Amino acid sequence: MKQSADIENLFSQARNSEPYLTNRRFGKRVLTLINIKEPVPFWKEASIEMLGAFVGGALAYSFFPLTDLVSSIPTKFVIGPMALLSIAGGFSFLCGIGYWTADRGRL
Amino acid sequence: MLSATDQALIDRVVTTNCHDSFGILVERYQSDLRYSLRQMTGWNEALADDLAQETFIQVFKSLKSYKGTAKFSSWLYRIAYNQMVSHFRLARNREVSASDELLTSQLEQMDSSTTSELDLHRDLAEAMKALPTNQRMAIHLHLHRQLTHAEITTIMGIPLGTVKTLINRGKNTLRGLLSSWSPEDKL
């Protein structure tokens, strides 16, 4: 019991003689870092990006030859043996890449 | 403005981003927090100040989420405790022993101030180094800051029973370490 009281007495002595640590440099440093680290708010960042996307979209739309592009789409398709072979080849290639990627990820 | 309550200052920071108000909050709590962190880090002044600085920056960032249900000081100490725990975890992961860090710093500081007035504080911090981080925090908050078990529970985010166990275990360890402590030895 006495030992317990001694520990408490020691902490009490420390509490009563606790030094006041001056704020001069510390406070200044914290406030400076707050100014530096202050992040751009999400809504601000998002609205700037939205505005950029809108302006970019409007410009692209005005210069985009939509009618030419639509007229260039073929209206008739003829599937010959070569076309079928090419599609099968492309599909096999994509399957191969998919398998390789999955296998690599597992390793 | 200097006499404004914590809540009034917090409201001003949240609504108008007033840095001066935050400066007053820093001024109000910095000494206590830096002293506590010195006790937690074996009186490593540089490390304690870095942790305190990170704590205040974190406080500023998350001030909006402060609900006011607990005292501001408890909330501040909770953030500081989390900073300290993650610092020691990172230090352990980097295989830089915290105690080596502390010892180096203490040797560096030894020449700068050896006043007997500070011996008690340094020796307490030195003895506390033997305790795990959670015991150190619980002991400091209970014996030095005189917080209740319930308040320590809020700060450390652990159950009441665990807080009591940590304090009892910490006291037992410190009893052995500080049994021979006498201010006369230091003079």
ipTM value of the model? 0.78
B26 with A23: Cβ contact below 8 A: yes
Take residue B92 and report the two structure tokens written for it: 């352990």
B56 with A30: Cβ contact below 8 A: yes
> Which tens digits make up the pLDDT trace of B59-98?
999 999 998 888 999 999 999 999 999 999 888 776 555 5
Burial annotation B72-83 (CB, 10 A radius, 16+ → b, else e): bbbbbbbbbbeb
The 3-state secondary structure of B149-167 reads: HHHHHHHHCCCHHHHHHHH
A19 CB within 8 Å of a chain B CB: yes
Give chain B positions within 8 Å (CB) of A26.
Answer: 26, 30, 34, 49, 52-53
pLDDT at A61: 85
Helices (H), A1-107: 2-16, 24-37, 42-63, 66-71, 81-106
Higher pLDDT residue, B184 or B181?
B181
> Which tens digits make up the pLDDT trace of A64-92?
888 888 888 888 878 889 989 999 999 99
Instruction: Check: pTM over 0.95? Answer yes or no.
Output: no
